[in-house]
Amino acid sequence: MAQPSSFLLLPLFLFLFLFLQSCPLSTSALPSLAKGTSLSVENPDDVLVSPSRAYSAGFFPVGDNAYGFAIWFSDPPCSGAACTPVWMANREVPVNGRRSTFSLLDSGNLVLTDAGDTGRNVWSSGTSFHSAAELRLNDTGNLVLTNGSRGVLWQSFESPTDTLLPQQPLTRNTFLISARSKYNYSTGFYKLYFDNDNVLRLLFDDPSFSGVYWPFPWLLSSQFGRFLYNSSRIAVLDPLGFFQSSDNCSFYTSDYGVSAMQRRMTLDFDGNLRVYSREPGSTVWKVTWEAISGVPCFIHGVCGNNSLCSYDPAKERRCSCVPGYVRKIPGDWSAGCVPDFTFSDGCVTDEIKFVKLLYVDFYGYDYNPIANTTLEKCQQTCMNQCNCRGFLYRYSTSKPGTFDCFPKIELLNGHNLPSSIGEFFIKVPKNKTFTVDQLVKRTQYSCPPTPEVKVVDMTYSKKGKNGVLNFMLWFACVVGGIEIVVVFLVWFFLIRNQQDVTSAHQSYLLAATGFNRFTYDELKKATRNFSKEIGRGAGGIVYKALLPDDRVAAVKVLSNATTGEADFLAEVSTIGRVNHMNLIEMWGYCAEGKHRLLVYEFMEHGSLAQNLSSPELHWKRRFDIAVGTAKGLAYLHEECLEWVLHCDVKPQNILLDSDYQPKVADFGLSKLMDRGKVTSSDFSRIRGTRGYMAPEWVSNLSITSKVDVYSYGIVMLEVATGISPMTSVHSLESRGDAKQIQLVPWARNKVNELGRTGSRLEEMVDPALKGDYDRKKMEVLIEVALWCVEENKDARPTMSQVVEMLLRHENDG
Ligand SMILES: *[C@@H]1O[C@H](CO)[C@@H](O)[C@H](O)[C@H]1NC(C)=O
Ligand SMILES: *[C@@H]1O[C@H](CO)[C@@H](O)[C@H](O)[C@H]1NC(C)=O
Ligand SMILES: *[C@@H]1O[C@H](CO)[C@@H](O)[C@H](O)[C@H]1NC(C)=O
Ligand SMILES: *[C@@H]1O[C@H](CO)[C@@H](O)[C@H](O)[C@H]1NC(C)=O
Ligand SMILES: *[C@@H]1O[C@H](CO)[C@@H](O)[C@H](O)[C@H]1NC(C)=O
Ligand SMILES: *[C@@H]1O[C@H](CO)[C@@H](O)[C@H](O)[C@H]1NC(C)=O
Ligand SMILES: *[C@@H]1O[C@H](CO)[C@@H](O)[C@H](O)[C@H]1NC(C)=O
Ligand SMILES: *[C@@H]1O[C@H](CO)[C@@H](O)[C@H](O)[C@H]1NC(C)=O
């Protein structure tokens, strides 16, 4: 009789056992660790929790049978990716998964013992206070050794790893050091600390070289807005998301004020300092602030020795070896690359040649730079210098008309930088040959309409003329296509797999959601036969439309549909791939016969031009528009490797959404150009609007991103003063300056008259603001705008510098 019932009970016991094992209620987590007791790695219940249960401390898996003693957020329960350690005792030396213990000894010392093979102590707090009574986890995430009442003998907040929690002070004695990689918690190469001059800095520190990269080393302290003379050296993030440091570095996170958030400031393994927040229970951390945005290649050491960093939004940050060099350790870019050749001594003339790389620069390690020299002399200098590895030869920014030479003894901090104006030459053996691919292609992956597409356009126009040729072309295309697919697959599986899985996922999503090809009839219907015109520009007329899926859209009908279909598709696909909150989003296009239409998101409040005189455009909105527009343009310039110049920045092309946040429109319509070769003659007929055009357009200078910077400066002068460059004389008359003067010289004069007192600022500022503006920010905006409209394009800042300067004062007021 007993047999069947025990047979039935067995599964029940099993279930109960499993249930109790997995049910969180069963874990009898401990409130404190008393003197003479230990936590064991083998008992999952041996976890200290804070009184509010917000934080837990205990053994944390860091690998196969490898554990760290760590602190983490309790909610959601720690498993896999949801688990984020915020402190770890033994990040270097994980302990064995059996018999390892964490104990508070009678002597008052906290020790972590790896009982696996050796029984050694891998970590200890180094305390020996007989008064020590217990270890508790505070509600702030601080693990505190106390004497039983208020006396603190040791605390984890004083020895942070890579993370600072809210209310945890960073002081003169503490610093953050990044982890080695995403899944390796041991100490990496990046450090956040107070430098000897009391300034909070980020440093790349590798055994072989080091360098500060934040604040940007080429800026003076007055330019990056830090204060050198406060020796307090303390920085704290508050629970609401406001960070303040004694050197006057301060910021609000983007979700500032939301209190029930888990927050942490982490120096990530990639060298960027970020603040993350997460709703308790969620597994997703959101970045709410980062130290370096938009120019991730400026973080030093990203790619190690002899390699180049490049960035594009679709592929993120990537490294590649300098031609002639190979990776030192596959899978670890920070180890850099090593030459796959040897010189007998590096300066035997008939062993050496120089190979030219475009759009490349290496930061630092200049050896005896020479001003006003020739390419031959520069090359000779590097040739004679045995340890010279290459040199940068470039147009001098200080003495126009001359060239400077920068021989390099190390190829460090290299990046692809399309805005770099020089040519870089590397020293290689004479008998070494390179494919065009090695030398040229690397400068072209970006967001271009690719030259290949142009080739297709030619075959398109010759269609049907020659059957044999056609067949051969088709054959070549098919074979080429298969090759591309195979190469892509190999690349994808060999290389891509080692990289961030999430970014692959994002690219996949982008490709999958894509954007639509509409038929002409669909758009005709959506615009009710092109009945509601909402804008008109050089490119064509814009109509309001209601798409079949109920989205409200703006449809632009291009008036001069002369571009071939392939060209058009190439340009459209470029624009379609650009994705930024301050750039107008393109949803689709139509290319049918002669018709060329573009479908954009619809912007509620129309253009900046329509709003400039509206009382809705109060000061805060104007400043937000300045910052947002700059961010959008910076994204086009830097992140897309500068292939997308706007070339027609003006108030009509800055659109405002329902919150009056700006989005730049009409970009990417300019033709792709071969940088450097393009002069204004190829361009002036299609781009630019009088009043906003940079002087390069009329002189015969090359067109670079600085034309957009100039136009941006004019627009910002208009935003600040309310004076349009088109009607400036008229508007100036009304302000008592009846002379025939132009906006820029007028503004410059006013600013010079301002002196230090700033008494005449009121005369410049748009009367429509009725005096209601932030004086300091207004000064900054005008200063930045005037810098942008420098006659000499090299004297103008880049758009990301503009963003930096504006944001530096963002939180001051
Ligand atoms: C522990 O947390 C409380 C607030 O939760 C705080 O007042 C106290 O200073 C903290 N103690 C330590 C040593 O961090
Ligand atoms: C603990 O330390 C505090 C501060 O140092 C002291 O005031 C207190 O008397 C100590 N308590 C015990 C039980 O030793
Ligand atoms: C983490 O990186 C360090 C330094 O390169 C290495 O010694 C260690 O073995 C790595 N640990 C793991 C678990 O990969
Ligand atoms: C960089 O690589 C070169 C060899 O190409 C080597 O001589 C040099 O020491 C390396 N420098 C650093 C900082 O690793
Ligand atoms: C730093 O900030 C304090 C308080 O906000 C201010 O009084 C001081 O002038 C600032 N110092 C500098 C150099 O900006
Ligand atoms: C120095 O920093 C501390 C902490 O942020 C602050 O309280 C103090 O006012 C600062 N002193 C000066 C001179 O800015
Ligand atoms: C550059 O060098 C040349 C020849 O040495 C000299 O004639 C010229 O004046 C120099 N230019 C400048 C700007 O120093
Ligand atoms: C180039 O020359 C070096 C010696 O000068 C020799 O060792 C090497 O094999 C040569 N490489 C090629 C590709 O010819």
Gap from CA of 371 to ligand 7 centroid (Å): 9
Q: How far apart are CA 159 and CA 87, in angstroms?
A: 9
User: Best mutation site among 232, 234, 250 for ligand 6, i.e. most ligand atoms within 8 A of its Cβ?
Assistant: 232
Kindly tell me if the per-residue pLDDT of 206 is higher than 70: yes
Task: Flag whether 497 is in a domain.
Answer: no
Within 8 A by CB and 6+ apart from 83, the residues are: 60, 72
Q: Which CATH number do you get for residue 231?
A: 2.90.10
Within 8 A by CB and 6+ apart from 246, the residues are: 198, 227, 230, 232, 233, 234, 235
Task: Flag whether 448 is in a domain.
Answer: no
| In contact, 92 and 187? CB cutoff 8 Å | yes
Q: How far apart are CA 804 and CA 774, in angstroms?
A: 18
pLDDT tens by residue, 1-39? 344 444 444 444 444 444 444 333 334 688 899 999 999
Q: How far apart are CA 116 and CA 118, in angstroms?
A: 6
**Residues 696, 647 share a domain:** yes
Q: How far apart are CA 116 and CA 93, in angstroms?
A: 12
Please give the full DSSP string across 596-610, using - where no structure is assigned: EEEEEE--TT-BHHH
Q: Mean per-residue pLDDT for 233-238?
A: 96
| In contact, 496 and 315? CB cutoff 8 Å | no
Residue 535: what are its φ and ψ, rounded to 5°?
A: -175, 160
**Catalytic option among 114, 404, 648, 708:** 648
pLDDT tens by residue, 715-726? 999 999 988 887
Q: Mean per-residue pLDDT for 48-74?
A: 93
Q: Which CATH number do you get for residue 540?
A: 3.30.200.20
Domain of residue 346, residue span: 312-439
The residue among 397, 418, 439 that closes a domain is 439
Please give the full DSSP string across 209-248, using - where no structure is assigned: -EEEEES-TTS-TTTTT--TT-TT-EEEE-TTSEEEETTS
CB of 50 within 6 A of ligand 1: the answer is no
Q: Which CATH number do you get for residue 646?
A: 1.10.510.10
pLDDT tens by residue, 647-680? 778 888 899 998 899 999 877 665 433 333 333 3
Which run of H or of E encompasses 87?
strand 85-88
Task: Flag whether 469 is in a domain.
Answer: no
Instruction: Give the model's pLDDT for residue 586.
Output: 83
| In contact, 691 and 725? CB cutoff 8 Å | yes
**Residues 369, 318 share a domain:** yes
Task: Flag whether 588 is in a domain.
Answer: yes
**Residues 650, 765 share a domain:** yes
Instruction: Give the model's pLDDT for residue 177.
Output: 97
Report the 10 Å Cβ neighbour count for 727.
11
pLDDT tens by residue, 701-717? 677 788 889 999 999 99
The residue among 293, 324, 346 that closes a domain is 293
**Residues 673, 526 share a domain:** no
Instruction: Give the model's pLDDT for residue 754.
Output: 59
What's the order of all strands across the beta sheet hosting 307-312? Answer: 316-321, 307-312, 414-416, 360-362
**Residues 265, 392 share a domain:** no
Instruction: Give the model's pLDDT for residue 439.
Output: 66
Average pLDDT, the chain: 77
DSSP assigned state of 196? T
Helices and strands (H and E) in the chain: how many: 16, 43
Q: Which ligand is nearest to the CA of 373?
A: 7
Number of structural domains, the chain?
Answer: 5
Q: Do the strands 307-312 and 414-416 form a parallel or antiparallel pair, or are they unpaired?
A: parallel
**pLDDT band (50, 70, 90) for residue 449:** very low
Gap from CA of 65 to ligand 3 centroid (Å): 14
Please give the share of the chain, as a percent, with pLDDT higher than 90.
30
Q: Which CATH number do you get for residue 110?
A: 2.90.10.10
Task: Please choose, from the candidates 580, 518, 587, the residue with its C-alpha nearest in 3D space to the C-alpha of residue 552.
Answer: 587
The reply to whether the predicted model has a pTM over 0.75 is no
Residue 322: what are its φ and ψ, rounded to 5°?
A: -60, 145
**Residues 526, 394 share a domain:** no
Task: Flag whether 19 is in a domain.
Answer: no
682 is catalytic: no
The residue among 407, 439, 471 that closes a domain is 439
**Residues 778, 754 share a domain:** yes
Residue 556, marked binder: yes
**Residues 596, 718 share a domain:** no
